[in-house]
Amino acid sequence: MIESYDLKDHNIWNTTKGDIVEVRKTIREFYLKEQGYKCAYCRMEKKESHGYTWDIEHVLPKASYPEYLLEPENLAIACRECNNPKDDHEILSDPKFRTKIYPNDKECFKIIHPHFDKYSDNMEVVILNGKRIYLPLNSGKGKYTLISCDLFRFSYKFAEWESFDDAAIISFSEFLDNCPADATPDEIKRMLGHIKFNLKNLDF
């Protein structure tokens, strides 16, 4: 099937009969394990393996770049919430990088590339009072990933916060109100850990 693909008709990907069905299944299973059941872009962990949760992600969209449809370095697993909005964005940083051979330099891509970039170099993920916040570490890939994958959606759910600083102040005020006067240093440290901590192990 791979040998016979004409590098032009990406619609073969969505057919429900033939070799492509087994190809998709194999790709999904491989990248789910490789990524530890985490989305390539938001790094949320979801232990489900079915297609209602996960999309096989084409970093360079298959409709625009059909020649890379089956290129391993163009494939990953992404949650549907990240993958759907991303389809509307241009991912290649310059048209000149569109060559017969898939570009393998991270600078060729506007987004955090799941194979070429270290996620933690571009994005910080903070849990504040149980709520997830994405903080780009640069105005390039981190910011573009935030926008193109709509990572703002995590903030929309908590619109009572006007800013990250406001959220931190509110959470700390609540902590002071609830902290027992006789709390030991270890107890205080443990309670503070529930208010704010940075997620680790974001990289594959």
Tokens matching residue 146? 């935030």
- 49 CB-near residues (< 8 Å, 6+ apart): 28, 29, 32, 37
Tokens matching residue 114? 């799941």
Under the banding of pLDDT at 50, 70 and 90, the label for residue 86 is very high
Percent of the chain with pLDDT over 90: 58
Under the banding of pLDDT at 50, 70 and 90, the label for residue 132 is confident
Q: Give CA–CA dist 146/128, Å, rounded.
A: 18
Q: pLDDT digits over 8-58, tens only?
A: 999 999 999 989 999 999 999 999 999 999 999 999 999 887 777 899 999
Q: pLDDT digits over 138-196, tens only?
A: 889 999 999 999 998 886 554 444 555 555 555 556 666 777 777 787 776 666 565 55
8 Å CB contact between 97 and 107: no
